[in-house]
Amino acid sequence: MKKNILVFAAVVLCLISFQGMSQNKSKVIAHRGAWKNTGATENSLAALDHAIKLGCYGSEFDVHMSADSVLFVNHDNTIQGTDIEKSTAQELSQIKLGNGETLPTLEAYLKAGGKQKKTRLILEIKTSRISKERSLALAAKCVEMVKALKVDKITDYIAFDFDVCLKVKQLAPKAHVEYLNGDKTPAEILAAGLSGIDYHYSVYKKNETYIDDMHKEKLTTNAWTVNDKSTMQWFIDKKVDFITTNEPEQLFELLK
């Protein structure tokens, strides 16, 4: 009986140790989906699908609002010479991506991502080049659509506009929201009630205490866009929570 208790205790300790190691392991976020090594176009539904099949923790994508308030997924403010904010949904729906897909709407993207529960949807709310009001309106529409399509449990938000981050937190208090711009300290992020920071890797190199400072406050850290092995390893060693990369396959190899 005593022997069985000792064996059980040893198993429990091993499980606790394993869980601790898992929690400290950096997680992979595919930047604009998994496209670079798959033949998919970035920010396409195919890139999202490849990120899911790879087993990425998250797949990042970018959202803009058309002139008539329809939300589209694309990184730049323009695509094929067309300004998204100044074009109608009908005009934008005629655009084909490099892989033949139609320029995806946010609705289509969320519906595709919502078919599974393992890969998180990392929704970047792009800053409007027209006005602050449009940025905030875009934020509100993103939150509204995420809730309506019932994908809020697998969707996180990121933005360069600090006011947009605050808006999302106001509308969805339980949402995971990270700030991108790199100009706020961990103390400022904590005071604002945000979930964490998603900073360019160079910001962490200049402020090496940020990762530990954030973790002490139980806030998350994400580094973008990390594409070379040495920088990936630096962040793995520092136990950053998430690494956003165009090379998810390479990062998975290092994390083995």
Q: What percentage of the chain has pLDDT greater than the value 90?
A: 91
Average of per-residue pLDDT across 180-191: 98
Task: Name the CATH topology of 29-255.
Answer: TIM Barrel (3.20.20)
Rounded (10°) CA dihedral 189, 165, 73, 243? 10
Q: How far apart are CA 225 and CA 245, in angstroms?
A: 5
pLDDT tens string 65-100 = 999 999 999 999 999 999 999 999 999 999 999 999
The residue ranges of every structural domain in the chain are 29-255
> Which pTM value belongs to this model?
0.91
Q: Which residues pair with 243 in a beta bridge?
A: 28, 223
Q: What is the DSSP string of the chain?
A: -HHHHHHHHHHHHHHHHHHHHHHHS-EEEETTSS-TTTSPPTTSHHHHHHHHHHT-SEEEEEEEE-TTS-EEE-SSSEETTEEGGGS-HHHHTT-B-TTSPBPPBHHHHHHHHTT-SSSEEEEEEPPPSS-HHHHHHHHHHHHHHHHHTT-GGGEEEEES-HHHHHHHHHH-TTSEEEE-SS-S-HHHHHHHT--EEEEEHHHHHH-TTHHHHHHHTT-EEEEE---SHHHHHHHHHTT-SEEEES-HHHHHHHH-
Average of per-residue pLDDT across 215-220: 98
